Structure 1
């Protein structure tokens, strides 16, 4: 659909109510109904918008500039641009005359100037004249055989100064330019803030069959490619290298027949083996499969590192092999973006700035950018980089694509001098489209139109290609000097929890989280919280600061044991209210970060295990049903007044030394033996002189007991503060045991005989643990006892 300015307007916008042809008005023709006002208004409006656009300091998002020699050394560097050599060859100049070996720069310029006559109508010729006027003081309209030498000398005189590149950038009102860096570029010796690196990956995808390309990859990455694993490692190393040095994009030029899709490991391994063995002689199918695998891996790495992936689609290489250097390739209109649908869907977080080689593909690009959030229109490339195609394509994009998803233009320049004339061409076209289609046709204000131009010229470049954060080494130095001091202060506080460390402590934890982890790339996104580390891994760590990092807050270990006062045990156990274990325990008071880790897992108090122990006591000795819980007792164990308890003469248990605050298994076993000594087994109390009749624990009947669920804190002993054994709690336990037994008239404790039908108990029976087979023998019996030969299985097992 043609823009509205290409046909008569019969309705009113912005106060204009006459029927007129926008095309005639803005092309310099006269509107017959109101000729002078329309021309005067359009010219003034366009000039106002254009002037505002020229005041915008630019960032060129795509060039081929060499940062070590960004500007020209002679006029030959300008006339040697492939646009002029290929046009000169197209108009009749032999290739051998243009590319003669050993030709001096001055002689080359003389030859090319002699063939410029047929090119004076082209936009490329106007760029050359603009450069000569802007930078070298040329005042003529044409460069001819009569005046070129004066221009050559003036240019050479200015170009000899070291400040020339900065002078060109300043006069062009350009702040920075994006580069096109080979994958093995060391990215050293230049200002990456002014010359922004961009990883170009064509060789990695399409020329890995060449031995020299693989050797370059091995040399720069330090990894020899022998299989898929080493190939990915080498590619990852290149991304880390580029991202660590300020790269803000990855880019590639793609042929029209390329369709990216994932390649399975087996197929990719076969293809890589074939390429490694046969090189460029490998079958096309093998080379194609490897290219798709490498490309998909690049997209994954862009996703991982947060880099946009510039796709320049549609160039068909070597169509005219007899052409001059860089004058052999053409576009192919058979390309379609439907070939990239799987890529766009598979990587929704990767931004894909798309350049199409031909204007005929622009409508498809507009529709894809219309629908896909990650597809972005990007500049006007190569054969689309002429005013008529730019105007039509830019108008279509501005009318249909969200304004935040358009990169208006890039110069594609090889020398800095070309940035200014190319961008100036685009600014004039953009001013025309904004004035016609938006201010006049749609009633926009000049300010709104200029702001839209600002977005597509500069703003979107900054938002789509965001500047990278500081290097990881700098971050670690900052941590050592500042963040660790803040963390030490938080650790010295009475409560060292991350929640109470204050804003400074939280900020330090946020910085430390990625810095103390395994950072494979300088600007890698912080990975999700890792799985809970093992005890051995924890003991090997030298610093506990990661406990307060966001990753640690999200980990299961941190949720289960934040601090002693926040542990679920202290919140759920009623005894914690009566006996402030967590508050008084030395282990709880000590910071986990200050106390060395134990060599063996620590055994801590477990509420469920203690309740099961009480039930076992009741099952062994018998007794009445536990009293019904009152409202006060519903939150804890059954209790009774001490006056109601029978008097028991018992030697006080020695208090647990403070140096051993943890639960002791041997002490508990002795406690059980003391219970047996107190109550006996014959129904009569035993005196002090009858110790030899006591029943030992190992002589008691065995009751199958369901193992209590393992305490979550036992799984991570190194991170959980231990709850100490408490003597007062144990004394209360003994008193509760006494409540279970009745007393006779003499005041002596006796055991009541168990009822004929004992009450149901939640404990599992022995049969539940030893199911019988069809033959009546226990499945737990050995082969000889069960009557089965070695290797036989029961019918029940076979049915499974």
Structure 2
């Protein structure tokens, strides 16, 4: 291998590609940002991200050290005493990048000796919207998609910047809970009493969300969920029983969940919205864990269970995320075959460089470039978007430099074309701005 061989030049080439990618605006198609308070007002709101609390707890920190009743500074100080145990993780690298980029931190570790000054630097409660704007501009954001409960009033923010997304977990998985029906009635004005009323209410939700600028519907589903074509007549009695708060048999729960889910897919078809599927989490596996650190996954997920959905709704785009890292090969295969299935981002436990690199390599080698939806932040505060996207862009640059340029002789322009499709152009096209009737605006 010569000194100037393609493989030798790959790291330098990757740096050049990364430099160009960093010039592009960030289009973030999934987050948990609060549009009324998008950036962190103090360091507790950064360290309170579930990654840090769950990693600290798993390495020995009592859950009581981050209890909500503690003062914010005390929680931050308690976590700072534990950060040395997790400074090998990629999540720690996000924290250091946030501290350096937004708060002028110069070190490479945060501990008890640094937390006081850093906490003071990160206090921005008085800055309010001005701080939100500084973080937005420093991150070079174009759009951030939200996670909005179905009864969110969708008022008080710029919906072209912070884009609403109808999250539907409660409708599908918790319709039997009285509070869900109460919320649905209040949000739609429909006196939901049966299947027809339920469908009318769901349609009204879509009408309101689309009128407010929503560009997607989304749901997180457990690994044992299996979509089936709705049978309205068979669902009549289970839905009435659920609405009335009566006890349900397991098969009745399944019937209700399947019917509501199928209704959502029909509405996505009618209103022209993509339906984001986030598949795999099992809730509350570790009840003694810290908030946000109780859910896991197993290997029961199979997209084969979704075949009827993908076939029936050929006109609906399904951006799909799978939680289990070893589900990546199946997602590549379904994206390879189905025109309406797109691999989207790298979610939660799969969002570490080792798993991203393997999935990304397979997607670039096997999935048409016009279908790649590269990344989303899943962030709860704006500050996390930049370090997370930087992590992904570095891996993308390294993968394109090695797999495309070194091995296949691509030019830098060709590699950047693929990168820009994955990061910017495809998300813009898949999630376009829509008119009041749900039609993509031109």
The alignment's TM-score, normalised by the length of structure 2, stands at 0.97
Question: Aligned pair in 2 of structure 1 residues 61, 157: CA closer, same or farther (>3 Å)?
Answer: closer
Partner deviation per Cα, 1:350-372 (whole Å, 9 max, x = no partner): 00000010220000000000000
Tell me if 1:63 matches 2:31: yes
Alignment of 1:635-784 (within 5 A): none
Tell me if 1:523 matches 2:431: no
Query: Which has more radius of gyration?
Result: 1
CA contact (8 A) 2:7 2:406 kept: no
Q: Paired residue for 1:368, among 325, 330, 334? A: 334
Query: Aligned partners of 1:153 and 1:96: how far apart in 2?
Result: 23
CA contact (8 A) 1:274 1:286 kept: no
CA contact (8 A) 2:6 2:406 kept: no
Q: What displacement does 1:285 show?
A: 1.6
**Residue in 1 aligned with 2:2?**
34
**Residue in 1 aligned with 2:356?**
390
Describe the SS at the equivalent of 1:147. Answer: helix
CA contact (8 A) 2:42 2:125 kept: no
Tell me if 1:441 matches 2:438: no
Describe the SS at the equivalent of 1:156. Answer: coil
Partner deviation per Cα, 1:520-573 (whole Å, 9 max, x = no partner): xx3369xxxxxxxxxxxxxxxxxxxxxxxxxxxxxxxxxxxxxxxxxxxxxxxx
Q: What displacement does 1:36 show?
A: 6.8
Tell me if 1:168 matches 2:110: no
Query: Aligned partners of 1:157 and 1:409: how far apart in 2?
Result: 28
Partner deviation per Cα, 1:568-621 (whole Å, 9 max, x = no partner): xxxxxxxxxxxxxxxxxxxxxxxxxxxxxxxxxxxxxxxxxxxxxxxxxxxxxx
Tell me if 1:133 matches 2:100: yes
**Residue in 2 aligned with 1:112?**
79
**Residue in 2 aligned with 1:330?**
296
**Residue in 2 aligned with 1:206?**
173
Tell me if 1:339 matches 2:305: yes
Alignment of 1:601-616 (within 5 A): none
**Residue in 1 aligned with 2:43?**
75
Alignment of 1:555-574 (within 5 A): none
Query: Aligned partners of 2:264 and 2:408: how far apart in 1?
Result: 43
Q: What displacement does 1:185 show?
A: 0.8
Equivalent residues, number:
440
Tell me if 1:427 matches 2:342: no
Query: Aligned partners of 1:346 and 1:175: how far apart in 2?
Result: 34
Question: Aligned pair in 2 of structure 1 residues 362, 159: CA closer, same or farther (>3 Å)?
Answer: farther
Q: What displacement does 1:34 show?
A: 3.0
**Residue in 2 aligned with 1:308?**
274
Question: Aligned pair in 2 of structure 1 residues 66, 161: CA closer, same or farther (>3 Å)?
Answer: closer
Tell me if 1:189 matches 2:163: no
Tell me if 1:46 matches 2:17: no
Q: What displacement does 1:291 show?
A: 0.8
Question: Aligned pair in 2 of structure 1 residues 310, 288: CA closer, same or farther (>3 Å)?
Answer: same
CA contact (8 A) 1:303 1:350 kept: yes
CA contact (8 A) 1:183 1:201 kept: yes
Describe the SS at the equivalent of 2:375. Answer: coil
Q: What displacement does 1:161 show?
A: 4.1
Q: Paired residue for 1:459, among 408, 413, 425? A: 425
Describe the SS at the equivalent of 2:380. Answer: coil
Q: Over aligned residue pairs, what C-alpha RMSD do you find? A: 1.4
Q: Paired residue for 2:230, among 263, 267, 276? A: 263
Tell me if 1:418 matches 2:333: no
**Residue in 2 aligned with 1:22?**
none
The alignment's TM-score, normalised by the length of structure 1, stands at 0.54
